[in-house]
C-alpha cells in the first residue's frame, strides 16, 4: 500500500500525466481516502473511550495516533483533489491534441484534394468529352450499318447499350411439382375463385355454387392436372441514359466556358449521335476566357481619421442671435433691415 501511495503522489506531481495513467489511479486514491476516514473515526473513538480509563502516557499515544489519522486524511484528500485536477487538465490537453491532429489531417487532405482538382480536372474532363465523342461517332457508324445490313448479317448493338445496360439475370427454376386444380368447364386455367367452394359430384367433376342461388345451381367445373413451378423471373437488360444526355462538365474556374452540357433528345425521345458531335464541336469553338474587364474606381482615404471638433459660438454671435426671433434661426434668414 505504501508503494502504491508513493506512486500516486508521484503521479499527482507530474504535469504531463496522461488520462490513461491517471484514470486507474484516481479510484485507488479515493479508496485510500475512504479507508483513511475509517481509520480516523476509529482513532477518534479510541481516544475518547480512553479519556477516563487510560493513563496520561497512554492517552498521549492515543492522541498521537488520532493526529496521525487526521494527517493521513488530509493527505488523501489532497491526493484525490490533485489527481482530479490532473485528470481534467490531461483530458483538456489530449482533447486539444486530438483537435489539432484532426485539423492538420483535414488541412492536408484539403491540400491534396485541391492539388488534384487543379492538376487533374481539366485532363479528366477533356478525356470524358473525347470518350463521349468517340461513342457518338461509333453510334453513328452503327446506325448507318444497321440501316443497310449485308445479307445474313445481324444488327450491331449500340455501344452504351452493350456496356451500360443493367445486368441480365435469366429465369431460374427453383422447384417443380404436380397438383390438381378445379377449372371452369371450357377454360384451360383455374380462375380466381376459391377452390374450397367447389361441390364435388364425381371424381373429376363438380359445381361452383352461385352466391344467392339455391343449392344445385352454379357453374360446372372439372379437375385438371397442372405442373406447378416456382421460379425467379428474368430481369435486367434495361438501357441506361446515354452519357451525352446525362453528363455536365463545368469549367474549372468560375466564369470558364462549360466543357460539356447534356444534349437534348429529339421529339421521339431518341438521342441522335450527329447532334452530340455538333454540340461537342460547338463547345470547342468557344474562345478561352481572357482577362476580365475592370473599370477604374476612385476612393478617398483620410490621412487623419480624427474628427474635426465643432467651433464654439462667439459671444458676439450669441448676442447678435438673441436679438432676432427663433424662426429666423430655423430658416437661416435675417428680417428685412437687419442684415
Quote the radius of gyration of the chain (alpha carbons, Å). 49
What is the average pLDDT value for the chain, to the nearest integer? 87
Q: Based on the domain organization, do 106 and 176 belong to the same domain?
A: no
Q: Is residue 12 part of a domain?
A: yes
pLDDT band at 339 (very low <50, low <70, confident <90, very high): very low
Q: Is residue 267 part of a domain?
A: no
**For the segment 283-306, what is each residue's pLDDT rounded down to a tens digit?**
888 867 777 778 899 999 889 888
Q: Which of 65, 96, 112 is the last residue of a domain?
A: 112
Q: Based on the domain organization, do 7 and 95 belong to the same domain?
A: yes
pLDDT band at 89 (very low <50, low <70, confident <90, very high): confident
The whole-number pLDDT of residue 1 equals 57
Q: Is residue 122 part of a domain?
A: no
Q: Which domain holds residue 228?
A: 169-232
How many domains, in total, are found in the chain? Answer: 2
Q: Is residue 42 part of a domain?
A: yes
Q: Is residue 247 part of a domain?
A: no
- The predicted model gives 208-231 an average pLDDT of 89
d(CA 87, CA 25): 10
Q: Does residue 88 contact residue 17 with C-beta atoms inside 8 Å?
A: no
The whole-number pLDDT of residue 90 equals 85
pLDDT band at 64 (very low <50, low <70, confident <90, very high): very high
Q: Is residue 82 part of a domain?
A: yes
Q: For 218, phi and psi rounded to 5 degrees? A: 170, -160
Q: Is residue 49 part of a domain?
A: yes
The whole-number pLDDT of residue 259 equals 92
**For the segment 241-281, what is each residue's pLDDT rounded down to a tens digit?**
999 999 999 999 988 889 999 999 887 788 999 999 999 99
pLDDT band at 203 (very low <50, low <70, confident <90, very high): confident
**pTM attached to this predicted model:** 0.59
Q: Which of 112, 127, 149 is the last residue of a domain?
A: 112
Q: Does residue 221 contact residue 207 with C-beta atoms inside 8 Å?
A: yes
pLDDT band at 313 (very low <50, low <70, confident <90, very high): low
- In this predicted model, which residue has the larger pLDDT, 214 or 303? 303
d(CA 255, CA 293): 13
Q: Which of 64, 96, 112 is the last residue of a domain?
A: 112
Q: Based on the domain organization, do 108 and 175 belong to the same domain?
A: no
Q: Is residue 311 part of a domain?
A: no
Q: Does residue 338 contact residue 324 with C-beta atoms inside 8 Å?
A: yes
The whole-number pLDDT of residue 81 equals 87
Amino acid at each position: 500500500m505504501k508503494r502504491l501511495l508513493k506512486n500516486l503522489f508521484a503521479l499527482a506531481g507530474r504535469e504531463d500525466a496522461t488520462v490513461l495513467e491517471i484514470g486507474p489511479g484516481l479510484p485507488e486514491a479515493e479508496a485510500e481516502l475512504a479507508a483513511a476516514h475509517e481509520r480516523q473515526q476509529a482513532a477518534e473513538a479510541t481516544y475518547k473511550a480512553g479519556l477516563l480509563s487510560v493513563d496520561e502516557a497512554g492517552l498521549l499515544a492515543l492522541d498521537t495516533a488520532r493526529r496521525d489519522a487526521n494527517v493521513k486524511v488530509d493527505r488523501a484528500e489532497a491526493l484525490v483533489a490533485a489527481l482530479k485536477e490532473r485528470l481534467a487538465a490531461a483530458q483538456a490537453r489530449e482533447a486539444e491534441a486530438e483537435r489539432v491532429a484532426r485539423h492538420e489531417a483535414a488541412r492536408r487532405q484539403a491540400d491534396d484534394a485541391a492539388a488534384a482538382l487543379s492538376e487533374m480536372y481539366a485532363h479528366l474532363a477533356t478525356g470524358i468529352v473525347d470518350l463521349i465523342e468517340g461513342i457518338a461517332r461509333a453510334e453513328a457508324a452503327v446506325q448507318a450499318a444497321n440501316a443497310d445490313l449485308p445479307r445474313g448479317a445481324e444488327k450491331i448493338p449500340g455501344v452504351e447499350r452493350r456496356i451500360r445496360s443493367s445486368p441480365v439475370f435469366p429465369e431460374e427454376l427453383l422447384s417443380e411439382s404436380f397438383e390438381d386444380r378445379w377449372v371452369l368447364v371450357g377454360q384451360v386455367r383455374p380462375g380466381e375463385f376459391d377452390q374450397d367452394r367447389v361441390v364435388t359430384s364425381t371424381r373429376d367433376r363438380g359445381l361452383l355454387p352461385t352466391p344467392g342461388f339455391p343449392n344445385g345451381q352454379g357453374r360446372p367445373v372439372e379437375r385438371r392436372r397442372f405442373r406447378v413451378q416456382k421460379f425467379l423471373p428474368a430481369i435486367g437488360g434495361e438501357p441506361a441514359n446515354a452519357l451525352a444526355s446525362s453528363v455536365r462538365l463545368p469549367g474549372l474556374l468560375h466564369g470558364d466556358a462549360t466543357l460539356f452540357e447534356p444534349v437534348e433528345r429529339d421529339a421521339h425521345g431518341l438521342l441522335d449521335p450527329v447532334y452530340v458531335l455538333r454540340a461537342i464541336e460547338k463547345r470547342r469553338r468557344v474562345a478561352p476566357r481572357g482577362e476580365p474587364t475592370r473599370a477604374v474606381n476612385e476612393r478617398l482615404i483620410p490621412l487623419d481619421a480624427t474628427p474635426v471638433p465643432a467651433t464654439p459660438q462667439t459671444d458676439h454671435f450669441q448676442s447678435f442671435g438673441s436679438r432676432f426671433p427663433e424662426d429666423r434661426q430655423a430658416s437661416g434668414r435675417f428680417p428685412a433691415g437687419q442684415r
